[in-house]
Structure 1
Amino acid sequence: MLDAQIPPAVRTTNGNVATPKRGFPKPLSYAVNLLLLPTVLTLIWWGLAGILHSAVFPGPWESFQGLIQDFGREEYRASIEITLILLVVGLIAAIALGALVGFALGMSQFWAAVFATPISAFYSIPLVTLYPIFLIFLGIGYESRVVFAFFHSFFPMALLVMVATASIDKNYLKLADVLVLPWYVRLRKILIPALLPALVTAIRVSYGLTLLGLLLAGMISATNGLGHELVLNIAQVRLDHIMGQLLLIIIIAVIPGLLLRALETRVTSKYQPE
């Protein structure tokens, strides 16, 4: 009698009763989770601005207005364009060379063991302390900034790819040797599926580090770019413009990072072995 009252939609294929799932649909739940933290932080920011007074600590609306004023200047729009171009160049170079170096070292257990510790040790040094060396050899210009941004992300990229390559199950490679598979078949069937999750993770990490290196270099020596504009606003104590530019930098950092994170989750679920 009780079973007859149970809706068919909640029965499983074997006749058992399935507990209905509660909560938001998956896309809506993802949107809620995505917007929850920014909303909370904005409310906290708005509350602090009201307590401290906006002349001392600008609120979200004052910061947004400062950003709009900066967008009205041609020099600021040119700085954004230059920063994005240098970011793309440095990131592509770090991904390409870092992946190649990491793959070449990871294919040999000996060289992976030899270079793992030196690469980790070198990257532990704050690279900003080495920036004068870049200025000496490359001068004050685009070259020093993009190379500094490149080195900021090259080493973690190479290290992550090297570790992933060294961790590939060697039984697959031995099977490929037994079957005498061509190199392109090994690459497509074995190496790429095994390395893809680690590669996407390394790209996500490298993106943020490349942007950080580019902003640091721009704050120290550049005559244009977002780093230079931030220093100008700090020197002129334009707090609303400072907070507005920080909003822009956060958007440039977070949105591609979230997209790469979503790609990382999807690739990992598809290619990561159980």
Structure 2
Amino acid sequence: MTAQTPVSPRRRAVANGLGRLWPPILFALLVVACWWGTATVLKSTVVPAPGAAVKGLQAELGNPRFRASVLDTVRVLAIAYMAAAAAGAIAGTLLGVRAFWSRALLPLVYVLNSVPKVTLFPVFLLVLGLGDLSRGSFAFACGVVPMFIIAAEATRGVSRTHLKLAASLRVGEIQVMRKIVWPSALPAIAGGLRLSFGFTFLGLVLAEMFAGSSGLGQELLRNVSIGRMENIAGEVILIAVLALAPTALLTWAERWTAERYGHNA
């Protein structure tokens, strides 16, 4: 009987990574194939072919105004998302460890989260006016609420036995947060970071469409008004590409956190 050669952890990690990559790649290729088939059958300007969409995007990227709009969107998105992630995670964690305040405030936050955010944008526009402040604040509001809820619920789910044991040993609050609360809540918070990014990006594009002077949302609305379907499809592709890299990174961080701290939950 021959002994099997042990597989190194590095090779196993690479194999697992490739195994996770091929399903979304295959699905993306299937979507493109369906898109191309639909455009070929309909032969309509309303449904441009993928090649026409790429050409439209190339033409847009040759315009300095469009490139400036892309940079504006990326800049405001980065600021709004980092602020929403930090504020939501910290505030949610601090609220979740306090039973009275979590019972009192979380239902109100759930009600606020159920309200369609787009209906609140006129308030941001009226108070903050046109510009980066209003669209950035709206994007922040769209991302911070789900991040806050996820962090608060994750913290509320920490084992009360561990907390009571720490209290009986007179462990300081900071040490309790570092040694018990954060390790237990981190897997859920990592998932919240990924979801918060999507909501923040969505809120920013909506704000740019309604009242932006620049940005991808404004460029998208401009092409809608003049009926440039190939440019619209190209901008949708660009938005998907801009969202892909951060989402993939946050997904990897979520899996790593679950493997590293999942046993503490």
- The TM-score with structure 2 as length reference comes to 0.91
* Distance in 2 separating the partners of 1:148 and 1:25: 41
Query: Is residue 139 of structure 1 aligned with residue 115 of structure 2?
Result: no
* Distance in 2 separating the partners of 1:208 and 1:33: 21
Instruction: Report the CA distance between 1:25 and its aligned residue.
Output: 4.0
Aligned residue among 209, 212, 215 for 2:205: 215
* Distance in 1 separating the partners of 2:207 and 2:255: 32
Corresponding residue for 1:190? 180
Instruction: Report the CA distance between 1:164 and its aligned residue.
Output: 0.9
Query: Is residue 100 of structure 1 aligned with residue 90 of structure 2?
Result: yes
Gaps of 5+ in 1: 12-23
* Distance in 1 separating the partners of 2:87 and 2:57: 36
Report the residue type matching 2:45 in the other structure.
A
**What's the RMSD between the two structures over aligned residues?**
1.9
- Per-residue CA deviation, residues 69-89 of structure 1 (Å, 9 max, x unaligned), is 111011111111110111111
Query: Is residue 202 of structure 1 aligned with residue 192 of structure 2?
Result: yes
Aligned residue among 176, 179, 195 for 2:166: 176
Corresponding residue for 1:149? 139
Instruction: Report the CA distance between 1:173 and its aligned residue.
Output: 2.3
Report the residue type matching 2:113 in the other structure.
Y
* 3-state SS of paired residue (2:4): helix
Corresponding residue for 2:69? 79
* Distance in 1 separating the partners of 2:215 and 2:255: 33
Instruction: Report the CA distance between 1:254 and its aligned residue.
Output: 2.8
Q: Where in structure 1 do 4 or more consecutive aligned residues deviate above 4 Å?
A: none
Instruction: Report the CA distance between 1:58 and its aligned residue.
Output: 1.0
Instruction: Report the CA distance between 1:30 and its aligned residue.
Output: 2.3
Query: Is residue 112 of structure 1 aligned with residue 107 of structure 2?
Result: no
Aligned residues: 257
Aligned residue among 216, 220, 238 for 1:230: 220
Corresponding residue for 1:8? 3
Q: Mapping of 1:25-36 within 5 angstroms?
A: 25-36=15-26
User: Which sits farther off after the overlay, 184-193 or 57-66?
Assistant: 184-193
Instruction: Report the CA distance between 1:10 and its aligned residue.
Output: 8.8
Query: Is residue 270 of structure 1 aligned with residue 265 of structure 2?
Result: no
Instruction: Report the CA distance between 1:29 and its aligned residue.
Output: 2.2
* Distance in 1 separating the partners of 2:46 and 2:153: 48
Instruction: Report the CA distance between 1:261 and its aligned residue.
Output: 1.4
Corresponding residue for 1:19? none
* Distance in 1 separating the partners of 2:179 and 2:171: 10
Instruction: Report the CA distance between 1:185 and its aligned residue.
Output: 3.4
Instruction: Report the CA distance between 1:183 and its aligned residue.
Output: 4.4
Instruction: Report the CA distance between 1:50 and its aligned residue.
Output: 0.8
Instruction: Report the CA distance between 1:193 and its aligned residue.
Output: 0.9
- Per-residue CA deviation, residues 194-220 of structure 1 (Å, 9 max, x unaligned), is 121111111111100000000000000
* Distance in 2 separating the partners of 1:161 and 1:269: 18
Aligned residue among 37, 43, 48 for 2:33: 43
Instruction: Report the CA distance between 1:269 and its aligned residue.
Output: 2.0
Gaps of 5+ in 2: 7-13
* Distance in 1 separating the partners of 2:51 and 2:31: 14
Instruction: Report the CA distance between 1:155 and its aligned residue.
Output: 1.1
- Per-residue CA deviation, residues 77-104 of structure 1 (Å, 9 max, x unaligned), is 1111110111111111111221222122
Which has the larger share of helix?
A: 2
- Per-residue CA deviation, residues 207-249 of structure 1 (Å, 9 max, x unaligned), is 0000000000000011100000000111111111000000011
Instruction: Report the CA distance between 1:263 and its aligned residue.
Output: 1.4
Query: Is residue 130 of structure 1 aligned with residue 120 of structure 2?
Result: yes
User: Percent of pairs identical after alignment?
Assistant: 34
* Distance in 2 separating the partners of 1:29 and 1:218: 38
* Distance in 2 separating the partners of 1:252 and 1:62: 20
* 3-state SS of paired residue (1:55): coil
* Distance in 2 separating the partners of 1:221 and 1:253: 22
* Distance in 1 separating the partners of 2:105 and 2:244: 32
Query: Is residue 261 of structure 1 aligned with residue 251 of structure 2?
Result: yes
Q: Please tell me whether Structure 1 or Structure 2 has the larger radius of gyration of its CA atoms.
A: 1
* 3-state SS of paired residue (1:224): coil
